[in-house]
Amino acid sequence: MTTRNATRTPISSGYVPCACRDCMEVAVQGASEQKAYCAACVEAGCLDHQGVPGMSQECRATGAYGDDAG
């Protein structure tokens, strides 16, 4: 018999990929967080637009695509 908790995937903590769709940076995630954003994405406001219908899903951080002045 399998219990409910045995089928759950544990939440990762520590260094994880940034949750912003196109970002290649590393973020620090706490044990209780579902996802984490790097400092550049937090500053640029990326987390406010991820998964929101009608909003840009691209990384908004300066230099994210290599052609921004920053």
What are the boundaries of each domain within the chain? 11-60
Q: How far apart are CA 48 and CA 55, in angstroms?
A: 9
pLDDT at 29: 92
pLDDT at 10: 60
pLDDT of 18: 92
CA distances from 38 to 2, 11, 26, 31, 59 (A): 36, 17, 6, 16, 11
Q: How does pLDDT run across 1-42, given as a tens digit for each residue?
A: 555 555 656 666 799 999 988 899 999 998 888 889 999 999
Q: Identify which has the larger pLDDT, 8 or 46.
A: 46
Model confidence at 67, pLDDT cuts 50, 70, 90, reads low
Q: What is the pLDDT of residue 6?
A: 57
